Structure 1
Amino acid sequence: MAEAYIVDAVRAPVGRRGGGLSGVHPADLGAHVLTALMDRTGIDPAAVEDVVFGCVDAVGPQAGDIARTCWLAAGLPEEVPGFNGAEMIARDWDISRAEMEAFAHESHRRAVRAIDEGRFARETVPYEGVTADEGPRRDTSPEKMAALRTLVDGGRLTAALSSQISDGAAALLIASEQAVQDHGLTARARVHHLSARGEDPVRMLSAPIPATAYAYKKSGLTMDDIDTAEINEAFASVVLAWLKETGADPARVNPNGGAIALGHPLGATGARLMTTLLHELERTGGRYGLQTMCEGGGQANTTILERL
């Protein structure tokens, strides 16, 4: 099987709902990061054989992931709203509201620190006057979070424990070993492993747990080998359950904050996570990085990078 290498990765700042990017056409935002990627790598656009972009939802009868839709149509139960799945996870893994609020507060603290220390400077290409991520809240506190109403009566989740609705884009140039040689590119990382797994489509958001276990089994690596991990903070309970099951060191997971603070531009989040993971591995000198995220219909993918 041909090797896949990451040559470069860039992203736009993530704009909050109604923020600086809210009026930008998605095609323009995507074009911005693609142009930046071509400029930074010097690759001839004519040499690019495929362009793959995530989009939260298309329109028409084939909207979303048609393969998963067909699978569920075969008899599996319909999925429930995302926050209900997050409530199920909080209940099943006995995660308290206070634990989730502490996690969410730390996400904001880490994101603010990353911005202030310039950790995102190399990976971010400003657009339309937006130069930094707009989501992180400098003035948030556990006390403010504790004052919020829950999303459902008797539940544990609040808006502060959920990812933010955001606008954003990210792009990565991925090339085979032959293409790297043919075009005189310099690879920054190698895709060591890539896989996807499915789980209960009702609880839905816990699939990163089996997906991560499967990735370790197939790759021969363990959590001890992973220097940095990026998991999407769809809800605080998703990451906390994953931490409990994997035994990962919280200090090495989302070290620069996650979607609770930085935002969740749905179709772009996977590429945003990978972009941040690559740059964090380079910043810290780590070798292996893992990225995983839950997806609609009870799926999750896990990718392990090896920094070169």
Structure 2
Amino acid sequence: MGRGKPGGLLSPLHPVELLAQVLSGLVGRNGIDPGQVDDVLIGCVGQVGEQSGTPGRHAWLSAGFPVSVPSTTIERRCGSGQQAIDFAVQGVQAGAYDMVIAGGLESMSRIPMGTNRKDSDPAGPGVHARFPELVSQGIAAELIAEKFSLSRSALDALSVDSHARADAAARAGLLNSQIIPIIRPDGVTVSTDETIRPNTSLEVLAQLEPAFATDEARTRFPSLDWKITAGNSSSFADAAGAALIMSEERAAQLGLQPRARFVASAVAGDDPFLMLTGIIPATHRVLERAKLAIKEIDYVEVNEAFASVPLAWQSEFGFDHQRLNAHGGAIALGHPLGASGIRLFASLLSSLESTHGRYGLQTMCEAGGMANAMVIERL
């Protein structure tokens, strides 16, 4: 995976070229014949402009791989990359695939968030008639903080911890296996994350003003104690990521040692007003399908879209905070929308492997009140 901040080191790269290098790295690391890949499933939210033309197909061709391998693009908002993994696994389980690549892509420098719905209303009059109170994700994060009685200091503390954990993991080399060095058009190689701020402190974050407390929002919610800032929200990022998924039989034929097996997956919908709480019913559902209790899970990744999201999830499940986003979350490592599910998957697997844990769970909140959840077992 390659990750950079908007306007940063990866911004000169066309999104297709960023993904092409990641696909090349994945194929090269595993020593597979690319012609044996059945399909390439790529999650992407901003399917417009340079990301509009089935970017997985173009990236595959740009990498020089066989034209016989197809691709498709998947969009489930922030969970698009995780949904790509789910579909890949389901395809293998159904016998439709023997070997498939699941990935995600988002160049937020070149296709800023919201570009694909600029000057439009994607919901339509029927949705607004049924849910006239709908708000933006930022205000939803504020309402979640209020519902779960989360203080500003708790939100900022999670943010400081996210950066500290990510910095510690990077210094210990625990992120190295997640990163494919990316070569820019000018020959510069990018091999480290740009979004981690190791010097972040509570004192610095306390100086930031609430990001979503506009005059209109304050009028609509006069009693709300505004707490969500740029510092306790996820950072935008440019990134592409990919994972190689195959049947046990094909792995044995190729002499490859699987790193993990997929135990269960689930999707869920929840209140579109609060929007970001779908991770709670999705987690309950995936644990039921996996026939596991939360106490049997060694590590959990909950996407840090806003600090209030993992804290609300933790309030529900009482999970050990030391094993939640153990190597830092999206506040420190960035939230490249369609690629975030792959990033969480890489972090979850790294946490399990570095401590010899067995079961891991990841879940993604998504616009519209949706969520994905997945349980894996380290092998």
CA displacement at 1:57 relative to structure 2 = 2.4
SS at match of 2:13: coil
2:129 aligned with 1:140: no
Question: % of aligned pairs identical?
Answer: 44
Q: What is the 5 A alignment of 1:5-16? A: 11-12=1-2, 14-16=3-5
- The answer as to whether partners of 1:57 and 1:63 remain within 8 angstroms in 2 is no
For normalisation by structure 1, the TM-score amounts to 0.90
Question: Aligned with 2:249: secondary structure?
Answer: helix
RMSD: 2.2
Query: How far does the alpha carbon of each residue in 1:140-179 deviate from its partner, in whole angstroms, 9 at most, with x for none?
Result: 1101100111113351111001000111111100112232
Q: What CA deviation, in whole Å up to 9, does each residue of 1:23-59 have, x standing for no partner?
A: 2111111111111110111111111111111112224
Conserved? CA contact 2:141–2:308, under 8 Å: yes
Matches of 1:144 and 1:16, distance apart in 2: 20
Asked if 1:243 corresponds to 2:232, the answer is no
2:92 is the counterpart of 1:38: no
2:298 is the counterpart of 1:227: yes
Q: Structure 1 residues 239 and 71 mapped into 2: Cα distance closer, same or farther (>3 Å)?
A: farther
Q: Distance in 2 between matches of 1:73 and 1:292?
A: 29
1:16 Cα offset (Å): 1.1
Q: Summarize the Cα distance change of 1:39–1:100 in structure 2 as closer, same or farther, 3 Å threshold.
A: same
**CA pair 71-249 structure 1, distance change in 2 beyond 3 A:** farther
TM-score by length of 2: 0.74
The unaligned stretches of length 5 or more in structure 2 are 53-72, 78-121, 184-188, 214-224
The answer to whether residue 186 in structure 2 is matched with residue 121 in structure 1 is no
User: Structure 1 regions of 5+ residues with no counterpart?
Assistant: 1-10
- Runs ≥4 residues deviating over 6 A: 69-72
Match of 1:52, SS state, is strand
CA contact (8 A) 2:235 2:330 kept: yes
Match for residue 37 of structure 2?
Answer: 48
* Number of the residue aligned with 1:193: 264
Corresponding letter in the other structure for 2:211: L
Q: Which residue of structure 1 aligns with residue 89 of structure 2?
A: none
Question: Residues of 1 paired with 2:335 and 2:366: CA distance?
Answer: 12
SS, match of residue 328 in structure 2: coil
Structure-2 residue corresponding to 1:152:
212
Q: Identify which of 272, 275, 293 aligns with 2:364.
A: 293
Cα deviation 1:233-254 (Å, max 9, x = unaligned): 0000001000000111100011
Relative contact order higher in (CA < 8 Å, ≥ 6 apart): 1
Count of equivalent residues: 294
Give the 3 Å change call, closer, same or farther, for CA 121–63 of structure 1 in structure 2: closer
Structure 2 CA distance for aligned equivalents of residues 148 and 227 of structure 1: 34
Residue 41 of structure 2 aligns to a residue whose secondary structure is coil
2:243 matches 1:183:
no
**How far 1:186 sits from its partner (Å)?**
1.8
Shift of 1:77: 2.5
Seen in structure 2, the aligned counterparts of structure 1 residues 53 and 245 have a Cα distance that, compared at 3 Å, is same
Aligned with 2:273: secondary structure? coil
